[in-house]
Structure 1
Amino acid sequence: MARAQGARAQMALAFETTYGTPPASGFSRMPFASATLGAEQPLLNSELLGYGRDPLAPIKDAVTADGNVIVPIDAQGFGFWLKAAFGHPTTTGTAAPYTHEFRSGGWMLPSMSIETGMPEVPRYAMYSGCVLDTLSWQMQRSGLLTATASLVAQGEAIAAASTAGTLADLALQRFGHFNGAITRNGAALGNIVSAEITYANNLDRVETIRSDGRIDGADPSIAALTGRIEVRFADQVLVNQAINGDPCEMTFAYVLPSGEALTLTAHAVYLPRPRVEISGPQGVQATFDWQTARDAILGRMCTITLINSIEEY
């Protein structure tokens, strides 16, 4: 008997025209490292008395479908997750390379259908009405560069065969930590040990009364772009900014030698005043838990630019 193995698992993704309705075609094969996306329906214990000490049968509660997907930050596939996080991009270029610009602040987020498959069982789970809640990743000196996409889905449908049809394959061109750089107000920011970036749509689940126990949607509320930078304490630049309460523009970028690039620009970053501790004979480090606000001139919080050979997302 065949047993499920993660090495044979696969994932397909397509954007929906109607929320909660998987499209008949247009799915792409997505690279991923792990996934906790799933649906669960807990049981409610009976509270009734009068039938002895043994409990009566439980009843089913509402369905909850959500989870995380760990994906590589690459030049092509990552654009699908950026579209889910920010909405449709503005694309320029008449031939490759194309430049896709994603902007924060949009009111409408596209929903996705995501199918995870374990062909040896066989088990194919189609998650419809997937909306991206948060997208986060870390920058560091070494290691594999991945991002975590947290999703809220409407429901799950299980089948013995795939319903995604023929999948479009993407060329995998991964960015690495070695390709990363951080700038502040256009100048390279040195002495950075690590950085964390989190963009959140702060979804509000529309939990209405339905016979199937599913949600009616997931609406975005006030967005947030936050993170943390850990620096070797070498000067007072960041501390002075925190004390003065002034914002700065910070850019987190990756560039491949072949020309593909990913750049996140946070237009108005505010820094808290940190505690600078001397914990021993080693170098002194300071941690800044930063947050971004809407830039008064640009009218948005952040911009992400992705340069690749994909003509349209």
Structure 2
Amino acid sequence: MARAQGARSQLAAAFETVYGTAPASGFTRMPFAASTLSAEQPLLSSELLGYGRDPLAPIKDAITSDGDLTIPIDAEAFGFWLKAAFGAPTTTGASPGPYTHVFQSGNWTLPSMAIETGMPEVPRYAMYTGVMVNQLSWTMQRSGLLTAIAQLVAQGETVASTSQAGTPAGLDLIRFGNFNGSIKRDGVPLGNVISAQITYANNLDRIETIRSDGMIDGANPTIAALTGQIEVRFADMVLMNQAIAGTDCELEFGYTLISGESLTFTAHAVYLPRPRVEISGPQGVQATFDWQAARDPDTGRMCTITLTNDIASY
């Protein structure tokens, strides 16, 4: 008897032309480490009286299709998630590359995706349509695997015994690592950083109308949020003075490979809170800044992401 195993699971994705309608072709095999994307339908217990102590049969509640994907931050596949989170990029470059893709915050219209997760042993192939990225987050640190978490909202799920994605196109897996990371403040390398966490949220508003199929009508982006955390060894007053003054700075989080691929995430106007500074023992003193980004009046946006690779277009 075959049993589903994560090692044999598959994930394919494609952008939709019409929200909630999976395209007939154009799927790409996507690398991932874990997935909680699924449909869920709870049961409502009966509240009726007069039938004895044993309850009557429960009824079905509304269906929810959402979940998280743990994905590697790499030079090619990560561009699909950036497009889903920020909208289509502006691409420059000529064949055979490299190509530079520039993503910007502030788009009111975001693309939707169709994502199929497959378990060939069962077999079970679940197609999720109308998938949109609600949140994208990751952590920079000195060591360990570099992965991001994409929080997804889908319109619905359709399960079949055969794949509906055809033969997905493949991508070269060119991963960035924490070793390749750097952080700059106003263009100058920021020292004494132990870890940094970045979270971009579209704050999607689900349109939960009454429908016979139990699906939502859509998910609209509202006011976005770019927040994070920087943990530093307390060695100077640069960040503390900025926090006290209430001024903003530009933070740039970047990764570069010797082969030429790069990813740069720039938050143009970052504000820092005044943190608590504690002395907890003989070790070095650390401070944690829970930063927030806002729209920069000079650039007209909150953040810019630049991805350089050999992909001609997303």
Q: What is the TM-score when the length of structure 1 is the normalising length?
A: 0.99
How far residue 104 of structure 1 moved from its aligned partner, in angstroms, is: 0.1
In 2, Cα distance between equivalents of 1:73 and 1:310: 15
Q: Which amino acid aligns with 1:42?
A: P
Counterpart residue number, 2:84: 84
In 1, Cα distance between equivalents of 2:277 and 2:72: 34
In 1, Cα distance between equivalents of 2:217 and 2:293: 31
In 2, Cα distance between equivalents of 1:78 and 1:223: 20
RMSD: 0.6
SS in 2 for 1:238: helix
- Give the gaps of 5 or more residues in structure 1: none
Instruction: Note the 1:180-191 alignment, pairs <5 A.
Output: 180-191=181-192
Q: How many residues align?
A: 313
How far residue 7 of structure 1 moved from its aligned partner, in angstroms, is: 0.4
- Give the gaps of 5 or more residues in structure 2: none
Asked if 1:23 corresponds to 2:23, the answer is yes
Counterpart residue number, 1:175: 176
How far residue 21 of structure 1 moved from its aligned partner, in angstroms, is: 0.6
Counterpart residue number, 1:148: 149
How far residue 56 of structure 1 moved from its aligned partner, in angstroms, is: 1.3
In 2, Cα distance between equivalents of 1:16 and 1:181: 35
How far residue 167 of structure 1 moved from its aligned partner, in angstroms, is: 0.6
SS in 2 for 1:181: strand
SS in 1 for 2:82: helix
Q: Which amino acid aligns with 2:75?
A: A
Aligned-residue identity in percent: 75
SS in 2 for 1:91: strand
In 1, Cα distance between equivalents of 2:94 and 2:227: 35
SS in 1 for 2:291: strand
Q: Which amino acid aligns with 1:121?
A: V
SS in 2 for 1:67: strand
How far residue 53 of structure 1 moved from its aligned partner, in angstroms, is: 1.7
How far residue 214 of structure 1 moved from its aligned partner, in angstroms, is: 1.1
Counterpart residue number, 1:283: 284
Instruction: Note the 1:46-195 alignment, pairs <5 A.
Output: 46-95=46-95, 96-195=97-196
Q: Which amino acid aligns with 2:22?
A: P
SS in 2 for 1:221: coil
Q: What is the TM-score when the length of structure 2 is the normalising length?
A: 0.99
In 1, Cα distance between equivalents of 2:83 and 2:310: 16
**Segments ≥4 residues shifted beyond 2 Å:** none
Counterpart residue number, 2:301: 300
How far residue 48 of structure 1 moved from its aligned partner, in angstroms, is: 1.4
In 2, Cα distance between equivalents of 1:49 and 1:17: 50
How far residue 54 of structure 1 moved from its aligned partner, in angstroms, is: 1.5
